[in-house]
Structures are given as structure tokens and as C-alpha cells.
Amino acid sequence: MKYKNSVLTLLMLLCVCVLVKATPDQPNMESARTNLQKARAELQAAEANKGGHRARAIDLVNAAIGEVNKGIKFARRNNHAKVNAPIPDQPHMEAALNHLKNAKSDLERATADKGGYRANAIRLVNLAIDQVNAGIAAGRS
């Protein structure tokens, strides 16, 4: 009986540890990073005939991902835990645009104290959105 209680207690502790580890300390920033990564993948899958706007958007998304990563690290280090309709000929660009908008929304919901990195990521995402929109327009012509 004592053995069963010890095993049960150990299993309960293990479950609690897994649940605590699974909860992100920066959920909005991590969600923004995921959306940015998805946007980058869609941009990379899109055709390159976008007048250079797609490539510039990829660069901006990469920079935004870097800023999000720095913001997460800053918050952890400083203990601060706590559209357009799809167009059939532009599916990847439209999907990237949606992911960028989701990332922007996540970043705006995140707490502001990230050492200025969150604000930089928002600025870069806005620039990437502009480039994706310009790329969509260039792809239509």
C-alpha cells in the first residue's frame, strides 16, 4: 500500500511538472513568433515575381522574429513574466498577410515592457505587411 501511494504521488508530481513546463511564460510573444514563422514560410512558398516586395517582406519578417526573440529573452531576464479576402492567384501571399496580421495582434496584446523589442517587432511587422500588400498588387499586374 505504501508503494502504491509513493508511485501515485510521484506520478502526480510528474504531471504537475509537465503542466507547469508546458505553460509558456510569454504566450502572446510566442504566438506572434509562430505566426511570423508561418508568414515567412508562406512568403517563401510564393512566386518570386513580386517586384522585390516578397523578398523585402521576408527580410522584415526575419528581423521581426529576431526582435520577438530578444523581447522574450529580455522579459525572462528581467523577470517580466506575466482583411483581405483570399485571392486564388495569391494564396501564399494572402496567407502570409493573415499570419502577419495575427502576429501583429499577438504583439499588441503582449505586455509593453520588453526593452523596446516588442515595439520594434510591431514596426517591422507593419513594414512587412506593407511589402506583402505591395507584392500582392505587383503580382496582379
- CATH code of residue 79: 1.20.140
Q: Is residue 4 part of a domain?
A: no
Q: Residue 12, SS3? A: helix
Number of independent structural domains in the chain: 1
Q: Is residue 105 part of a domain?
A: yes
Domain that holds residue 103: 25-140
Could you give the count of Cα atoms lying within 13 Å of 122 in the half-sphere of its Cβ? 15
Q: Residue 5, SS3? A: helix
**pTM for the full model?**
0.59
Of 135 and 60, more confident: 60
Taking only the tens place, the pLDDT of each residue in 52-109 is 999 999 999 999 999 999 988 888 887 644 434 444 457 888 889 999 999 999 999 9
Average pLDDT, the chain: 81
Structure confidence at residue 67 (pLDDT): 92
Q: Which residue, chain included where needed, has cell 523589442?
A: 117
Q: Is residue 7 part of a domain?
A: no
Q: Is residue 57 part of a domain?
A: yes
Average pLDDT over residues 113-141: 89
Q: Is residue 2 part of a domain?
A: no
